[in-house]
Structure 1
Amino acid sequence: MFDVLVYVYENYWRPDACPDPEQLTRKLSAVGFESDEIQDALIWLAGLAESAESGTGTGTGSGPQSMRIYLPSEMELLGDESIGFITFLESAGVLPAPMRELVIDRATAIGEPIDLDALKIIVLMVFWSLGEEPDALVLDELFVAPEDRLIH
C-alpha cells in the first residue's frame, strides 16, 4: 500500500489533481500495482480526505502548549521510534498539533504496527492532503538517510 501512496504523491502533487477513484484504479493497475494494494491505498486515502475535511485533531488539547498522551493501543501500533519522530517534528515547529493528530489517526488506521519509513510516508501524505509543501527540514528528515546527511 505504501508504494501506491508514494506513487500518488509523486504523480499528483495536489489531491485535487488526483483523478477519481475509478480512473486512478485503472492508472495504478496499468503501472503494475496489485489490486489489493490499490484498494487498500484508496480506502486509506478516502479516510485521509475525510479526516482532513472533518478537522480530526483540532479539538481540545491541540494548543501550542498541549502535551500529547498516547493511548496504549497507539503506542503499540506506532512504536517508540515513530512516536519520537512525531515529537521531533512537533518540537521543531513543522508539525502543528492538528496535523500531528491527523498523522496519528492515519497511522493507527493501518491497523497493524508500522515502522518509521511507513510513518514518514504518512506524514508526507498528510502534508499532501492539506495542500501544504513540507519545508526543507521535513523533506530532509523524510527522504535523506541519516548516513547520507552532510554535517555542516
Structure 2
Amino acid sequence: MFECLMYLFENYNHSEMDVMMENKILTDELSEAGFQKDAVFKALAWIEGLADMQNSLDYSALSQQPLQSVRVFTTNECVQLDKECRGFVYFLESIGVLNPETREMVIERATQIESKSFSVDDLKWVVLMVLFNLPDQQAAFTQLEGLMFDEGGGTMH
C-alpha cells in the first residue's frame, strides 16, 4: 500500500496529469504498473481520508501562533510510530515545518499506513503528502523537501 502511495505522489502530484481522474482509470493504470488491486484500493482510501481531513481543516488556524504545549502520543500511536518517528514529529514542529493542526494530520495519516516496518523515511513521505496540497504550506513543504534531499547528507535531527 505505501509503495503505491509513493508511486501516486511521485507520478501524479509532481506531473501535469489530472490527479482527480476517475478511480477506475487510476486503478487500471496502477494495476498495469504492477500494484495489486487490494493495495491500490487501500492507497486510494488513504488519499480520500487525507482529502476529508484537508476539507475539514480550519485554514485560518494554520497561520496563528503555535501553542506552547507538548504532544503526548497514545499507546496505539507509539506502537505504530517508533521513538525515532515520534522524535522526528517533535523536531518538525520545533523548526516550524509542522504546526499543531498539520502535526495531527501527519500522525493520523501515518498511523493508517499498513506496514510492519514504518520508518522515519516513510514518515517523511507522509509529511510531504500531507503538506503538498494544503494552502499556505508551500514553505513548509519546501523546507522538508530540502531536508529530505539534502545532498550533504547531514543529520536530520
Same-fold call, TM cutoff 0.5: yes
Looking at structure 1, the residues matched to 40 and 145 of structure 2 have their Cα atoms a distance apart, in angstroms, of 25
CA drift at 1:111: 5.6
Q: Which runs of 5+ in 1 are unaligned?
A: none
Whether contact under 8 Å (2:2, 2:114) holds in the other structure is no
Cα deviation, 1:44-66, whole Å, max 9, x if unaligned, reads 1111111121229x7xxx94323
Q: Does 1:36 align with 2:8?
A: no
CA drift at 1:144: 4.8
CA RMSD, 1 decimal = 2.7
Match of 1:101 among 96, 99, 104: 104
Q: Does 1:80 align with 2:86?
A: no
Instruction: Output aligned runs, 1:1-152, within 5 Å.
Output: 1-13=1-13, 17-18=18-19, 19-55=21-57, 63-110=66-113, 114-130=118-134, 132-133=137-138, 134-135=141-142, 137-144=143-150, 149=153
Q: Which runs of 5+ in 2 are unaligned?
A: none
Return the TM-score normalized by structure 1: 0.80
Cα deviation, 1:96-123, whole Å, max 9, x if unaligned, reads 1110000011112236662222211211
Q: Which amino acid aligns with 2:33?
A: V
Cα deviation, 1:6-43, whole Å, max 9, x if unaligned, reads 221122227x9311222211111122222121111111
